[in-house]
Amino acid sequence: MTSAPVTDDSGRLQARIETLEQEKRHLLAVVEILQEIAGSLHFVDVVQAVTRRLGEAFGLDRCSIFLAERGGETVRLVASYEDPSIRNYVVDLARYPELRRALETGQTVFIPDVASDPGLRHAQDSLASRRVKNITVIPITWRGVPIGAIFLRTFRDGPAFTEGDVHFCQVVASLTAKALRNAHRFERLQLRRGEDPVGRAADRERAALVGFLRRLIDAFAAKEEPWGEGALARASTAEVDRLVEVAMTVLSQEAAAR
């Protein structure tokens, strides 16, 4: 007579243990993501770290980060778990109605079964061939405005997203927004300070060139014999080219050493 309540209690206890285990995994994943993105102030490193961590945590078919563009008709695919080489690919939102809805409403879009969703009829063959089960699109917002989204797809024969998983990804999206904002501020600060790496290298080469020419002219001026353009005509073109190549090599080395 008392076996049923004991069984019920055991089931509830097991469910509670599984929930706590899931929360533990989520917390550990958040800590790992925080450690990785906090160590970088570069935009590309931030988005790549987030897609990689989420893809590995859930064994996803796809995990991507899109950033919104002005006009609202296209987005930029800036990071992809399945293809890390993708960095800046323009995507038409007409192909992704679920992504458009998340960006327009600022709300998470969760499609539990893509096979039965009428909005995805145009992509049923592709989704079926990849054995996609569900799709989750979580907006990345800054001060209430969607600036992008995290796009996730799970395999049909894999574990489905739970409410706890969706909440976890929302937390990650919030962290991503803050990290992207910090990276943007850092890059703007670099530009204001003139800390563009390409510009700095060019400035160093110009400084090295001026110094080289000044020393070269002083060395020739110190000689007693006359020198002028007539001497240049007697030099072969190949020899002049060789001297120019040597001089440019010296300039590059001196600029790199500064």
Dump pLDDT digits (tens) for 27-66: 777 777 777 777 666 778 888 888 998 888 888 888 999 9
The answer for 131, left when phi > 0, alpha when psi is -120 to 50, beta otherwise, is: left
Non-local CB neighbours of 119 within 8 Å, separated by 6+ positions = 97, 98
Give me the half-sphere count of Cα atoms (radius 13 Å) on the Cβ side of residue 196: 8
Query: Domain residue spans in the chain?
Result: 10-192, 197-257
Compute the distance between CA of residue 131 and CA of residue 123 in angstroms, rounded to an integer: 12
Helix axes 197-221, 237-257, angle to 10 degrees: 130
User: Does residue 72 register a pLDDT over 50?
Assistant: yes
The topology (CATH level 3) of 10-192 is Beta-Lactamase (3.30.450)
Give the predicted TM-score (pTM) of the model. 0.64
The pLDDT of residue 67 is: 93
| CA dihedral sign, ordered 156, 50, 108, 29 | positive
Three-class SS of residue 149?
strand
